[in-house]
Amino acid sequence: MTTDLATLYKDLHAHPELSGHEQRTAGIVADSLKSFGYEVTENIGGYGLVGVLRNGDGPTVWLRADMDALPVAEETGLDYASTVTAVNDDGETVPVAHACGHDMHTTALIGAAGKLASTLDEWKGTVVAVFQPAEENLSGAKAMVDGGLLDKVPHPDVVLGQHVAPGPAGMVFYHPGYTLAASDALEITLFGKGGHGSRPEATIDPIVMAAAVILRLQTIVGREVAATDQAVVTVGVVEAGTKNNVIPDEATLKLSVRTFDPLVRTKVLDAIARVVKGEAMASGAEREPEIVTLYSGPATHNDDAALERVVGAFNTAFAGRVMEVPPGSGSEDFGQLGAAANAPSVYWFLGGADPKLFAPPADLFQVLAEIPSNHSPEYAPVIEPTLTMGVAALVTAARAWLS
């Protein structure tokens, strides 16, 4: 890969931006696309932007990359590590780092856009490079759709995307069907009746209520979801009280819910509402709990026929470096683009870890358990061969249609 792309990657890595604040990144992307001859439309759903390259009659392929970073303090020790802080949407100053690899996604798509623009005699059709903001809170894809994306660019025959992961760099990974989980982030407020800690009989204790809810929620997956299905219900935040001898008026829980099958998703969410309301009633709460969805996104699903075409192209181009893997319980909003356009979509994964770590006799799963993964303060993919494969995978997948 060219030094320019590696330099660009290091620059983006050192200058991360929070979800919804990707102004600098979007500007760099726009300048790059314009230099390749793309028609660029900016500020779609925030800092989202698209570049369109028309090359005669043929299919239209959307290629998508996300641009946002996380409120994480980087601890990689790299000479291009982020030292950035920023003010988040709550007015708090937080560290910021590309701890999920979106800088790699952005750089790879810029590289692929340039490669396709320089080989116009080898393919026909239209390429739409979609650079999405705010993936980390699962709002960016919807924001771009709501911002008129489908009216601003040609309709896709397929939507393609990729994500760097902690596998060996130089490899690509895929899963048929549901490949990433749906995500629902819930905030639950339980209302009690406050008072003195020495007189609990005069109160309705929302902390005890919250404890009962937390324990009961764990039975949903264990006792209501079939063993052949998959779901995760995690209580990640518990907030209540200000002093040891004061029983507060309310308690707040924040949940992360992951499912694959839409019917299971509905069942689990309904069960959560039932449990929360039931425990509040059992505690004698005088006010019904509030359940608010903070953000949500559907499961990422690979279209069978489109995936077969992509994997076939990968196997030809990257023989011996393509592997089917189990589905992941992480989540993405990538699928909302294909769903909104009523077009098939395909999503795969790039290895991003040093291949030497996986050399025999190393055990693949032991290595994966030990190396930093996405969202870790220590996570950063090796630049090569990750970047070269990231560009090549996008170009190869696109040309499975465009050629």
- Catalytic residues, by residue number, are 68, 135
Q: Which phi-psi region, left, alpha or beta, contains residue 379 (left: φ > 0; alpha: ψ -120 to 50)?
A: beta
CB 16 within 8 A of CB 100: no
Distance CA 290, CA 222 (A): 25
Distance CA 270, CA 289 (A): 14
The encoded tokens of residue 150 equal 């489908």
Q: How far is CA 24 from CA 1, 15, 114, in A?
A: 24, 8, 20
The encoded tokens of residue 103 equal 């800088």
Q: How far is CA 248 from CA 52, 196, 281, in A?
A: 56, 9, 18
Distance CA 207, CA 217 (A): 15
Of 362, 351, 342, give the one whose Cα is nearest residue 384: 351
Total residue count of the chain as it appears in this document: 403
Place of tokens 């995760």: 232
Q: How many CB atoms lie within 10 A of CB 152?
A: 14
Of 214, 209, 377, 229, give the one whose Cα is nearest residue 299: 229
Q: What DSSP element (H or E) covers 278?
A: helix 262-282
**Amino acid present at 398:** A
**Amino acid present at 76:** T
Distance CA 259, CA 266 (A): 9
